[in-house]
């Protein structure tokens, strides 16, 4: 005990907030912090372990000897063990040796609040702090305009370990290298944001980062924490926002992790019906416990505050909302009202979003939620969960199923491509074509397209054109933008060599210019979550498998007419109705020869005539490209 000096960063108010589940900056108190006490430089340690009867800090500084540096338990029944150890410096490797009151259970745990961890497969924590000098002041001042719900929002989803590997050394690119290569590529492709699959420290590569053990540390696979900040800085310097995948739904059972932390179910729910995920073989957080809620909300705030993240995409929300998620009858217990909703998780989400938007009104939280749970992206004062956006999983499944069909039979499935508009404005939807759709035998997006090679690429261009003119924000997984043939493999780089071939090179150009067209066209995003921004012209032409609609922004002069031809037939003199007089000028065409198309276009302006069609007062005749999308501005 003599080797640990009594010291605390906690005030009585901190303890009250922690116990009440209302402390949202716990990372300022818990973990390891370099401090000076009585003129001596060292490290303050604090860990929550209420079932322990002894907690020691062990590490390379004392040859991992148990009991030499035992922390002091606080007197206030908070369950916090703390103390100052002199001369423990930045870079010190350590763990907590925990002796439990529960049947003599002993464990060695990584620090839940550590800012850095050893490189896997090693599992210890590292005393760390950095003095990174941020250079994104201009971005932070103006980012509200980039992250607003009426701004263009096109997201590139990236798995850092497999986006690109070092060409000669067969290793991951570092955060520094990604700060050049990835940032330049995202900028070239005209995405507004990137979304990183989880970069929080995790032990098992095949989990893709979704089994987190170090919630407060960027993974050491790619470098130091300050180097990750450099990557964020470079993105912001180039006008690109960053969204982080965040996983408050479950965590792995690894011995050094959060599971059975102090010989009790501390972070996980003690009832396996609520505390164990059978599909993922992982533990589920106890949303009923105040201290756990504070841990999770503090973690969300940490990434927004300390790493300047512009948003959090919250993983597996549906698994948290429902007590019977992936469970058979008898494997779950109804809530106090007899329903299947997890009331504690629902209140947690509301509290999370209220705190995030209170502290950071210029960011977005995005729910990966696949059910019909109501009002996910509505404010909490209206009874909603408070998220900024929700993934439109129904659109994703219906659209991919439709495009996989032979165009000959699409006429019988027109409702699949139009049904999403029946509910498109019930939430603030993001349209995702994510990593989950290109693994486990589902094929790549290009691989799902029917027909010969030309038709496959034409279908893909049409799919993306339809996606970008459909209401809602956009997300695309890496590799899909240039037509990756193979399914995604987390163990290797994307197939960048495909860009040596014209179809893939053309597809990359197409997607870059489609992104730019989206960003430059207010009618495609200003009213993306409102029925005022969309008007059907025709969804009934099943014979030709053609749909047409208007996209509207704040200024009617920017309105667009969009026509999609889902067959490989070129249709000359296709008649389309329009509600006002004027001239149609083609402003985007997926069938352009520079994209690998056949070059069917409307090179001359088309004068609308006062002749009723599609129940509209005016109409005109246009040429429809095969498997193409033609977009017109009305002058």
Backbone φ, ψ for residue 567 (5° rounding): -120, 160
Whole-angstrom CA distances from 261 to 99, 200, 320, 544 are 10, 19, 21, 62
Nearest to 575 by CA among 541, 526, 529: 541
Q: Which two tokens stand for residue 479?
A: 């590799």
Sequence-distant (≥ 6) Cβ neighbours of residue 10 within 8 angstroms: 18, 29, 46, 74, 78, 80, 82
Per DSSP, the three-state class of 191 is coil
DSSP 609: B
Q: Any idea which residue has 């756990």 for tokens?
A: 292
Sequence-distant (≥ 6) Cβ neighbours of residue 27 within 8 angstroms: 113, 216, 298, 299, 302, 306
- Residue ranges of alpha helices (H) inside 371-501 are 393-403, 414-418, 445-448, 453-469
Q: What is the distance between the alpha carbons of residues 73 and 55, in angstroms, rounded to a whole number? A: 8
Q: Any idea which residue has 């030709």 for tokens?
A: 544
Nearest to 358 by CA among 304, 314, 317: 304
Whole-angstrom CA distances from 97 to 5, 71, 85, 286 are 18, 10, 15, 23
Q: Are 5 and 86 in contact, with CB atoms under 8 Å apart?
A: yes
315 is catalytic: yes
User: Largest Cα–Cα distance of the chain, in whole Å?
Assistant: 93
SS (H, E, C) 116-151: EECCCCCCCEECCCCCCCCCCHHHHHHHHHHHCCCC
Q: Which two tokens stand for residue 465?
A: 């054109």
Q: Are 563 and 601 in contact, with CB atoms under 8 Å apart?
A: no
Nearest to 294 by CA among 25, 16, 8: 25
Q: Are 47 and 81 in contact, with CB atoms under 8 Å apart?
A: yes
Q: What's the CA angle centered on 116, arms 51 and 156, to 5 degrees?
A: 115
Catalytic residue chosen out of the listed positions 368, 437, 526, 586: 368
Q: What is the distance between the alpha carbons of residues 175 and 573, in angstroms, rounded to a whole number? A: 53
Q: What is the distance between the alpha carbons of residues 602 and 612, in angstroms, rounded to a whole number? A: 22
Instruction: Detail the DSSP E strand segments found in 315-425.
Output: 364-367, 389-391
Q: Check whether the bond before 121 is cis (ω within 30° of 0).
A: yes
Q: What is the distance between the alpha carbons of residues 103 and 108, in angstroms, rounded to a whole number? A: 16
201 is catalytic: no
Q: Are 524 and 518 in contact, with CB atoms under 8 Å apart?
A: yes
DSSP 228: H
Catalytic residue chosen out of the listed positions 315, 437, 526, 591: 315
Sequence-distant (≥ 6) Cβ neighbours of residue 409 within 8 angstroms: none
Q: What's the CA angle centered on 515, arms 414 and 622, to 5 degrees?
A: 50
Q: What is the set of active-site residues?
A: 315, 368
């Amino acid at each position: 005990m003599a080797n640990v000096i009594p010291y605390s960063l906690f005030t009585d108010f901190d303890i009250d907030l922690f116990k009440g589940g209302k402390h949202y900056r716990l990372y300022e108190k818990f973990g390891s912090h370099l401090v000076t006490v009585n003129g001596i430089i060292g490290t303050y340690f604090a860990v929550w372990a209420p079932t322990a009867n002894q907690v020691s800090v062990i590490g390379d500084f004392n040859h991992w000897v148990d009991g030499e540096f035992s922390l002091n338990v606080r007197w206030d029944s908070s369950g916090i063990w703390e103390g100052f150890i002199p001369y423990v410096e930045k870079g010190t490797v350590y763990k907590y040796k925990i002796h439990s009151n529960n049947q003599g259970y002993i464990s060695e745990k990584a620090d839940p609040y550590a800012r850095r961890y050893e490189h896997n497969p090693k599992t210890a924590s590292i005393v760390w702090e950095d003095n990174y000098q941020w250079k994104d002041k201009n971005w932070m001042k103006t980012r509200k305009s980039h992250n607003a719900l009426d701004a263009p929002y096109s997201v590139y989803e990236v798995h850092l370990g497999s986006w690109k590997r070092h060409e000669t050394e067969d290793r991951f690119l570092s955060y520094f290298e990604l700060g050049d290569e990835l940032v330049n590529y995202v900028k070239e492709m005209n995405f507004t944001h990137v979304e990183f699959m989880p970069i929080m420290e995790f032990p098992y590569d095949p989990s893709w980062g979704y089994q987190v053990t170090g919630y407060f540390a960027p993974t050491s696979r790619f470098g130091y924490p300050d180097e990750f900040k450099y990557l964020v800085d470079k993105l912001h310097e180039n006008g690109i926002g960053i969204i982080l995948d965040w996983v408050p739904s479950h965590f792995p059972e690894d011995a050094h992790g959060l599971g059975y932390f102090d010989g009790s179910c501390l972070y996980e729910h003690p009832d396996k019906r609520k505390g164990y995920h059978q599909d993922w073989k992982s533990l589920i957080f106890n949303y009923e416990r105040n201290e756990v809620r504070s841990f999770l909300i503090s973690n969300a705030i940490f990434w927004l505050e300390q790493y300047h993240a512009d948003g959090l995409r919250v993983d597996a929300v549906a698994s948290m909302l429902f007590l019977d998620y992936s469970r058979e009858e008898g494997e779950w217990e109804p809530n106090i009202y007899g329903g299947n909703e997890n009331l504690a998780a629902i209140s947690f989400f509301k509290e999370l979003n209220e705190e995030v938007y209170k502290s950071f009104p210029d960011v977005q939280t995005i729910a990966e939620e696949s059910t019909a749970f109501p009002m996910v992206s509505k404010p909490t004062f209206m009874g909603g969960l408070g998220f900024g956006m929700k993934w439109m999983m129904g659109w994703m499944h219906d659209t991919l199923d439709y495009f996989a069909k032979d165009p000959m039979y699409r006429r019988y499935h027109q409702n699949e491509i139009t049904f999403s508009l029946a509910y498109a404005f019930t939430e603030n939807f993001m349209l995702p074509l994510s990593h989950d759709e290109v693994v486990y035998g589902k094929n790549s997006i290009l691989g799902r397209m029917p027909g010969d090679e030309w038709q496959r690429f034409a279908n893909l261009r049409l799919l993306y054109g339809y996606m970008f003119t459909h209401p809602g924000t956009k997300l695309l997984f890496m590799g899909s933008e240039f037509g990756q043939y193979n399914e995604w493999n987390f163990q290797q780089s994307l197939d960048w060599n495909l860009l040596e071939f014209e179809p893939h090179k053309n597809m990359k150009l197409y997607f870059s210019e489609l992104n730019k067209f989206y960003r430059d066209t207010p009618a495609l995003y200003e009213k993306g979550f409102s029925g005022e921004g969309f008007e059907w012209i025709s969804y009934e032409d099943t014979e030709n498998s053609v749909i047409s609609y208007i996209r509207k922004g704040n200024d009617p002069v920017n309105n667009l007419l969009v026509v999609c031809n889902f067959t490989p037939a070129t249709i000359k003199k296709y008649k389309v109705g329009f509600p006002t007089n004027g001239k149609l000028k083609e402003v985007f065409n997926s069938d352009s020869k520079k994209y690998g198309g056949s070059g069917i276009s409307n090179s001359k302006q088309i004068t609308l005539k006062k002749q009723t069609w599609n129940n509209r007062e005016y109409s005109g005749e246009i040429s429809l490209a095969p498997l193409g999308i033609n977009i017109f501005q009305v002058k």
